[in-house]
Amino acid sequence: QVHLVESGGGLVQAGGSLRLSCAASGRGFSNRVMAWFRQAPGLEREFVAAITWNSVLTQYADAVKDRFTISRDDAKNTVYLQMNSLKPEDTALYYCAAGPWSRDSDLYDSWGQGTQVTVSS
């Protein structure tokens, strides 16, 4: 299993930007699909973005497409989520996860503890 630690969350005004980082340790990071999910209070965890092990493919939820960018640096065992034009509805606890090429959170087997993103209006 891969051990994951997120960072970079915080409080930002609407229209602002944040970059989340997810540092991985353990074996197998470089050949795993990495993804970001988020969960707002009272709501289910939802898919945000994913990237394949060789960065060839990415996919995004419709709600964040054209605003968020996922990337990874396998030399640093780190995956990033650049979030621009943030909206209050982006407020959530953001999780990094390792798993298959899927939007189904149940299929991911490694999770970080989450980092809070709060967007004020």
Q: What is the pLDDT of residue 55?
A: 84
Residue 83 confidence (pLDDT) above 90: yes
CA distance 38 to 94: 4
pLDDT tens per residue, range 17-74? 999 999 999 887 778 899 999 999 999 999 999 999 888 899 999 999 999 999 999 8
pLDDT of 13 above 80: yes
User: What CA–CA distance (Å, rounded) separates 107 from 46?
Assistant: 13
Which secondary structure element, helix H or strand E, spans residue 25, and what is its range? strand 18-25
| pLDDT confidence band for 108 (50 / 70 / 90) | very high
The predicted structure's pLDDT at residue 110 = 94
Give residue 26's pLDDT: 85
